[in-house]
Structure formats: structure tokens, C-alpha cells
Amino acid sequence: MESNILMTKLNKINFAVSIDTLLDNLKADSGGDRDVNFLKFLIDNNLLLHEEVILKKTITDFSESYFKKKYTKSNSESTRHYLCRALIQEEFKLLGINTSNWVEAGNINILRSNSNYDIAAEDLSFIADVGLTPARNFFRGLTDLRVKFYLVTNYFDDYMDDIIFEVFKRGDDNRFIDAVRDYEEGYKLYTTISEENLMNL
């Protein structure tokens, strides 16, 4: 499993920032405060476990020309995002891990809506995002039990020796899935009631 290879190469460190600061830095509320609050609920109740790790960078040529032959830049992707994303994929490749980008992940039967991930292992055992990330991405992909880990990192610069990842995983598969399913069912109920109230105005 490719996630097993990756986890042996990551070194755990003490948290540099709080979860609130992390979510603020990543603009996690871009998808709405409701998802942010639910994400915090999952973390507070150990349904979603979180640790901070580093991956040592081995690539020193941090330029678009270095990566463009191997990795396609999307039309909507900023140069900064592209460089960070491509460098991570190349570092993973050097570890023997094959990845794809712009991958949908998550169980549509548990949580509706789409979540597109910047990077995914070929066997889908881990998924990853770079930079600004809505809160729903933190938990939707993990509704697919093939996904063992979700990694997210902020943008980084060429002078930095390490890539810092926040790693999330399910605390307990069944309890996590039940919590997300209840969250989705609660949303459906709220939406139905709201629509009925509007019709009665």
C-alpha cells in the first residue's frame, strides 16, 4: 500500500499551530462555517485524528521549467500552487509512490457533493491538498474506506528544507462514517424544512 511507504518517510513533530489557526490559514471556511464546525466536532471527539509531520525536500531546482515536462499545469492553477503541487508529486515519485492529480474521492452514498483533491496515490490509500482548502475536503475523501490518510499543506518556498503536512485519519471507521452520515441526514432534514417554510411565506 502506497500510504505505508509514505508514512515511513514522514517524521512527526510537535504542532506548530493550533487547529483554528490552521483552518484560518487555509481559508477552510470558504465552503461555509457549518462544515468548519463539523470538522472541529470530528477532531474534538477523536473521530478524526490529526498529527503534524515533515517530509525532507530533496529537490533543489524549484522552477516551472523543471516540472513542466512531467506535470501539466491547469488553466485555473496559479504558478505558486503548481510549483508546490508538482514538487510534492515528484518527491513522492522519488519514494516510489505513483500519484495522480485532480482526483475525486469520497463515498457519494454517505456524503453528497464533490470533493476534488490535488494529489492522490494511485491506489487511493492517501489523498492530499495544497494551499487554500475548504473544510469539507478534510473529511469527505475519508468516507471512502480505501483512503487511509488525508494530507494538507500550505504553500511553501524554495528556501525551506522541509514540507510540513497536517495528516488526518479516521479514529474509528464505523463511528466516523456514522457521524458523517448523520451530518448529511441532518442537512437534508434542515433543507427540507427550510424549503417548506419558504413555500408557506
pLDDT tens digits, one per residue of 5-31: 999 999 999 988 899 999 999 999 998
Rounded to 10°, the helix 33-44/173-199 angle is 150
Closest CA to 178 of 121, 120, 107: 107
pLDDT (tens digit per residue) in 129-165: 999 999 999 999 999 999 999 999 999 987 788 999 9
**3-state DSSP of 82-151:** HHHHHHHHHHHHHCCCCEEEEEECCCCCCCCCCCEEEEEECCCCEEEEECCCCCHHHHHHHHCCCCCEEE
Note the pLDDT of residue 17. Answer: 82
Can you tell me whether residue 78 is helix, strand or coil?
A: coil
Query: pTM of the predicted model, to two decimals?
Result: 0.90
Q: What is the mean pLDDT of residues 32-41?
A: 93
End-to-end CA distance of the chain: 55
Note the pLDDT of residue 195. Answer: 39
CB atoms within 10 A of CB 62: 17
pLDDT (tens digit per residue) in 72-129: 999 999 999 999 999 999 999 999 999 999 999 999 888 877 789 999 999 999 999 9
Average pLDDT over all residues of the chain: 89
> What is the C-alpha to C-alpha distance for residues 142 and 176, in angstroms, rounded to an integer?
9
| Choice between 160 and 177, residue whose per-residue pLDDT is larger | 177
Q: Is the pLDDT of residue 62 over 90?
A: no
Q: Is the pLDDT of residue 189 over 60?
A: no
> What is the C-alpha to C-alpha distance for residues 66 and 182, in angstroms, rounded to an integer?
46
Note the pLDDT of residue 31. Answer: 86
Q: Is the pLDDT of residue 193 over 50?
A: no
